[in-house]
A and B are shown apart, each in its own frame.
Chain A
Amino acid sequence: MNAENKIKTAFDSVGASESLKAATKSFLQEARRKEERRAAGHRLRMAAQAVCAAVLMLVIGLGGYTMLLVPVSYVSIDVNPSIELELNRIDRVISARAYNEDGERILECISVWGKHYTEALDLLVESSEMEPYLEGNAALVFTVASDSMQRENWLLEGVSGSSGCTGYGGMGVRTDVAIVSEAHECGLSLGKYAAYKLLLQYDSSISTEDCRNMTMSEIHGLLEEHGHKSEGHGSGGCRGDGTGGASGADEGREEGWGGEGNGSGHGHGHGHGR
């Protein structure tokens, strides 16, 4: 017998016993069960983590959306150009919309998205595109509406400190946020719609279409013709307080824009020097 055969024959006598095979099969069955349980647990953990991550993302997304993309305040700038800014909770502009062709021309040249509202107002009012509309006896009106009185107050403070008020004799007024949607349905900015509502008290024949085609100065002229008097409970206008009106404060007076029936007691006052 050669070496190969001898070694082969010797090793042939060694093998795995049936009991070892059976024990191994049993061991492997148990290992398989454990592995399946582990894999199932792993899948469950992964699914739970995915759900948690999705919920977290949703919460963060909703929080971010609410914080950054939901409008809570509105500031309209009306001269003849009619522009309305929508502000988020941190007073940044999330939308700027023009309500007439003059306004469109200005917004075509100036982007105010994401800017703080005071910066946006300064940019718009001080722009060369706005300049022609502010000449003569133009009435520059900033109309503010928000979901809280406190926010309206500080928005009006910001408006009062803006270059539009201090340098161009603009006036800041507040109005009821509930009329925002009505104004938009009529195709008017918040400010012009508030002026329309006021004028309607004296002249029921006036229409939103009429107001759309009038400048703020013309609307104010009509109000004066109807003897509209100040109610003296507004925030005070920039021009009316005699501090910045280019046309002088000697004739300055306050006008209270009539209540809009919201029952909240929001006054709509502005100083108006002319």
Chain B
Amino acid sequence: MRNELEINHAVENYSDMIRRICLCHLKNAADVEDVFQTVFLKYLLYKGTFESAEHEKAWFVRVAINACKDHLKSLFRHGVLCLEDLADEAASIAPEEHDVLDAVLSLPIKYKDAIYLHYYEGYSAAEIGKLLHKKESTVYSLLSRGRGLLRETLGGDL
């Protein structure tokens, strides 16, 4: 079991990333909070060791995505979170960012993960392939199609 110092360090370092991953998958704020806490609970109980900070981050990405999928499967919940569901954040987001975020969140789930991990977290197609258990060429295809859908939604300026 992880000690309190490790837990606090992980919460400070990975909270935002996990929150964003949850945002991509889940339907409402309560689910986000549930999965958010579940991910850190798994970390608390995880007995393995991490070779590096990158390894630890990749572990969190994979666990968070899986936890979101499990949550959706277990509750038969489908659909996505709209920014309107996040009233606090929606108010603080600029209109242009609001449109981009809404467009990304409206993408089918298979594109959302790839788009988020590539454009925000900076993972390469090969790394995303490892994280999502997909072939690198499939990830390139997902990124390309996701970008195309965003371009359709947001116009040619993406």
Contacts and interface: CB of A to CB of B under 8 A. Distances in A.
Contacts of A31: 41, 44
Contacts of A3: 119, 147, 150, 158
Interface in B34-71: 36-37, 40-41, 44-45
Nearest to B150: A3
B4 interface: yes
Q: Is the interface of B mostly helix, strand, loop or mixed?
A: helix
Nearest to B18: A16
Interface residues of A, number: 27
Given A24-B15, A31-B44, A8 B120 contact: yes
Contacts of A10: 93, 97-98, 100-101, 104
B139 interface: no
Nearest to B102: A10
Interface string A7-47: 11111111111001101110111011001100100000000
Interface stretch (B6-14, B72-80, B127-135): B6-14
B26 interface: no
Contacts of A135: none
B1 interface: yes
A11 B15 contact: no
A17 B119 CA distance: 22
26 contacts: A3-B119, A3-B158, A6-B158, A7-B115, A7-B119, A8-B119, A9-B97, A10-B100, A10-B101, A11-B120, A13-B89, A17-B88, A20-B19, A20-B36, A21-B11, A21-B12, A23-B37, A24-B40, A25-B7, A25-B8, A27-B40, A28-B7, A28-B37, A32-B4, A32-B7, A36-B1
